[in-house]
Every structure is written in C-alpha cells, then in structure tokens.
Structure 1
Amino acid sequence: MFNRIVVAIDGSSASFNAMEKAIELQQLTDAEIFLLCVYKHHSLFEASLSIGRPAEMDIPDKVLSEYAKEVVEHAKSQAIEHGATHVRGFVKAGRPSKVIVKFAREKKADLIVVGTRGTHSDKDGFLLGSVSHRVASNGKCPVLVV
C-alpha cells in the first residue's frame, strides 16, 4: 500500500497529529517515514532590514535552520516513543508547500501527510491552512490532511 510516507513537521500540534496518523499507517504497512521540517529562506538583504541590531547578529537562516533541526529531532524521538520504526528526519529551506511536494517527488513518496490549522480566515483555503491547501493541490501522490 504505502512504502514511503512524507510527514511535514513544523512543531505545531497539528503537525504532530499528522505524524501520529502516519505512524498508525506505518504500523499497517511497514512504510518508511520521512519527517520534513521546512523553514523559510531569508536573504542577507532581509536580515539587514531588521530595526534592532544585537551585538552579534545571527543570520536568520542559521537560527531557523537550528530550530528546524530541533523540531525534527524532537519529532523523531516522539515518533519512536509512539512505536514508529524506519524514521528519518530532514530539514530544508524554501517555500514550505513547494519544498514538501518536491521532496516527496524526489523520495518517490506514496503519501504526504500534513496537518491543518482549520482556520476560517485563511484566504488560500477555507478550512485548510495555506500550506496544506497548496500541498493537497500540487502533490503528485495522495495527500492526507489531518
């Protein structure tokens, strides 16, 4: 049924709910789970627009990359605690929806699992968060929105 499942993780409770659903599917299919955290890339120009200047200015990409690594490591340990096997974590920079779809294609994923915000104020998706809406619209494999 499923051999490779990509799970988008951003540290939110919705993304952890999605991961739990992916673990349930893994236990039925013995699929490999790819946990993916995507952070928005910031250019040096964007970093220079900051009004406040600390003594040592960290480049936003470095800070965001480190945070994304922490999110993936935490998710990976939570997945293992919940009985997951064959779990790998990845961190990528870019526009989340595009990166998730591209990553899933590169890994030949059978399924993408994403969480949703479920907000009514989202202009891109009435009930879905904008990222989950875009992934569901552009994914080349089935997408499960949890």
Structure 2
Amino acid sequence: MFRKILVAYDGSKGAEAALEKGAELCKLTGAELMVLTVYRHHSILEASLSMVRGSDESGASLDDAMRAVSREAAEHAKARAGELGVESVHAFIKGGPSARTIVSFAEEKGCDLIVVGSRGLGASEGYMLGSVSHKVTSLTSIPVLVI
C-alpha cells in the first residue's frame, strides 16, 4: 500500500501525534519513514528587525540557530520512531517556506503519503486546519493525512 511515508515534524503536540500515526502506518505496511523538519530562512532585513540579534559572539547567525534547533527536533523524531518500532527511519532538515518545502521534498523522494499535524485556532479549535497543513493539502496530489 505505502512504500514511503513522510511525516512533517516540528516538535509540537500535533507533530508528535503525526509521528505516532506515521510510525503505526509504517509498521502495518512495511513502509520506510521519512521525517522532515523545516526551518524558515530569515532575510537580513528580518534579522535586523528582530528582537534577537542577527548573530552571536561566535558568529552564528539566526539561520544557524534555526538549523540547529531543527536538527535536534529531527534527531528526536528519528529516535522516537525507532522506539515506536519503525525499522527504517530517515530524518532530514530543510530551510524554506514550510508547506512548499514539505510538498517538494515528498515529490522528490517519491513519498506515497504525507502525514502532518493540525492545530485548531481559538473557538474553532478542532474544526479548522492549521495554515501549514491546509497549504500542504492544497499544493499536492500526494495523499495527505492530517492528524
């Protein structure tokens, strides 16, 4: 049924639920699990307007910090998937706009399914898709499971 399942992972509760469901599907189908964590690049203008300095004393930039946090999240997700019994897990990080990066990565890697978490907003919690999950579903022909 599925050969490659992509889970978009950002460390949120919704992403944890998506990871668990993706792991469950991998175990049922024997699929390979691909975990992708996406971080957003910051322009020089955005960095200059940020309350956070553009770089620290070591010269590390805001992008470097975002990349490091993303790497930690991806490594956590890979380890967690292993704990959940998935035999074949690969974790990746990419920079760019979240939804477009998720979709292009899934297409590039030949994924059969994309699993993403959803976040409710305000009084509509549980009824509205989060912006990333909504965009992913509208940008791809690959089946998307929103958790």
Question: What is the SS of the residue equivalent to 2:104?
Answer: helix
Partner residue of 1:49?
49
- TM-score normalised by the chain length of structure 1: 0.91
Structure 1 unaligned spans of 5+ = none
My pick for the range that moved more, 26-35 or 55-64, is: 55-64
Equivalent residues in 2 for 1:1-146, closer than 5 Å: 1-51=1-51, 53=53, 56=57, 58-120=60-122, 127-146=128-147
Alpha-carbon distance between aligned partners in 1 of 2:78 and 2:39, rounded to the nearest angstrom: 17
Alpha-carbon distance between aligned partners in 1 of 2:27 and 2:51, rounded to the nearest angstrom: 49
CA deviation string 1:102-133 (max 9, x = no partner): 000000110000000022578xxx61000000
Distance 1:44 1:23, change over 3 A: same
Alpha-carbon distance between aligned partners in 1 of 2:56 and 2:24, rounded to the nearest angstrom: 47
My pick for the range that moved more, 78-87 or 63-72, is: 78-87
CA deviation string 1:26-62 (max 9, x = no partner): 1111101110000111123322333564762631110
Alpha-carbon distance between aligned partners in 1 of 2:51 and 2:23, rounded to the nearest angstrom: 43
Per-residue deviation, 1:142: 0.2
Question: What is the SS of the residue equivalent to 1:116?
Answer: coil
**Residues 101, 140 of structure 1: 8 Å contact kept:** no
Distance 1:138 1:121, change over 3 A: farther
My pick for the range that moved more, 128-137 or 45-54, is: 45-54
**Residues 105, 140 of structure 1: 8 Å contact kept:** no
Distance 1:87 1:48, change over 3 A: same
My pick for the range that moved more, 55-64 or 92-101, is: 55-64
Question: What is the SS of the residue equivalent to 2:114?
Answer: strand
Question: What is the SS of the residue equivalent to 1:99?
Answer: helix
Distance 1:137 1:51, change over 3 A: closer
Identity %: 48
Structure 2 unaligned spans of 5+ = none
How many residues end up aligned between the 2 structures?
A: 144
Alpha-carbon distance between aligned partners in 1 of 2:133 and 2:23, rounded to the nearest angstrom: 19
- TM-score normalised by the chain length of structure 2: 0.90
Distance 1:2 1:48, change over 3 A: same
